[in-house]
Chains A and B, each alone.
Chain A
């Protein structure tokens, strides 16, 4: 397996408040990697730093052999790195179709817009039905699907999902996880997943990292961590 994403000793934060304090991790091609941790420890900040929405104060980020540290966010997408932000962050006043089109805005994927549209609608048939509807009027589950589909429109090599289960009912949550599995299987994308639903995330992930206080506290294969008593106690309420 080849190394796709390497995060080396990365520090980052907002203004004078440091959030990440020397995080090192990696994702190999074809893996599903989960990042778990309590509220406010910096999981979202890690993804935002990788995508360039937040600029790191130290360390180095390499994606597919390219140093992307400090590149502006709009340039990073073109390298094949897409993120579904927390809550989906759809353009709620625009239609589903417009959201999807914008997903392919970056110059490397723009030419393939029609092809990508066709593919994501095969993957999520409900979006075809809803294409003329305002994204703001979608149900929670549909919204999450639309957000994932929008990210896929950029034809990413790696998809980063920030709490895709946020605010979903248990049934819907299962469905969204199934969809992520389906995406992994059918689209040949590598996935970096952040989750509060630690059990589900670990079950799906090849490997996982636990963040505590801005550093990686633990790492290992998903299945192993699923049965780690410390993790069960701290994050799964067992």
Chain B
């Protein structure tokens, strides 16, 4: 395997990490909740794709149109019923997401009885090559979806009034209220968007992996590394952070040992926290916003 090949493998892997991270990062940046159940939302997206296949015979690339809105609704409900009532105690919210992780995993386990499903797709497994480099359609789609999502989310946050109100809430909740922004509703919508993005990741990952209730755990550690590396709450951070983690993993896996990938995530984690605690793309000073008088 030559360097170019490893580069491509790393970037495509980065696409997966980036796509899983982008919703996690949005939720963290705006609501300041570390959503431990994010991987389970990805898992729900995967099972959603399976359900669409099993009942309607849909290809996952079409099921996206159903599963992503469904996860948006799931996110809204979760935020309203579980997280919003705990708004005065942010630590409790974090515990609640952990509880949600356990409930979702076990609910899916109970329903599926642990059977490992796979979701077939007519196009996902197709590979094409340029020279020695082989690329699978499923992974390329993820990379492109991440790129499109990152651009769209960035424009949404920068250009639209709703996006600006979300950024305002991120920076100063009280001032945002004084502008007439409904902070609670902004949180709910943001959680919905973050969940929908997790759902998108899940659907697009479904042709690649055999589904299991605990599969979210495969991505979530790397996703946390991406969030810390790229910068809390930064869209560009999730994108480029994902790429960097993917590349490091690919190169280290080739030159050192693939078994070391978790050690490498944590190494990245530590180095970033020491050298640049705001992450590569984080707003310097933004990490303090969450600790300022909030309500």
Contacts and interface: CB of A to CB of B under 8 A. Distances in A.
Interface residues of B, number: 21
Contacts of B182: 72, 74
B178 A91 contact: no
Interface of B: 161, 164-165, 167-168, 171-172, 174-183, 283, 285-286, 295
B233 to A, nearest CB: 10
A78 B180 contact: yes
B164 A73 contact: no
Contact of B179 (A53, A72, A75, A154): A154
Given A74-B182, A93-B283, A93-B286, A102 B168 contact: yes
B181 A105 contact: yes
A74 B175 contact: no
Interface stretch (A81-89, A182-190, A204-212, A227-235): A81-89
A118 B223 CA distance: 45
A132 interface: no
Contact of B164 (A89, A92, A101, A110): A101
A89 to B, nearest CB: 4
Interface of A: 51-53, 72-75, 77-78, 82-83, 85, 89-94, 98, 101-103, 105-107, 110, 150-151, 154
A1 B285 CA distance: 47
B27 to A, nearest CB: 18
Contact of A85 (B164, B165, B174, B286): B174
B172 A106 contact: no
18 contacts: A53-B177, A73-B174, A73-B178, A74-B180, A77-B180, A82-B178, A89-B172, A89-B178, A91-B167, A92-B171, A98-B167, A102-B164, A102-B165, A102-B176, A102-B179, A103-B179, A107-B180, A151-B178
Shortest 6 CB-CB distances between A and B: which pairs? A106-B180, A73-B177, A89-B175, A77-B180, A105-B179, A91-B171
B175 A90 contact: yes
A98 B167 CA distance: 10
B167 A51 contact: no
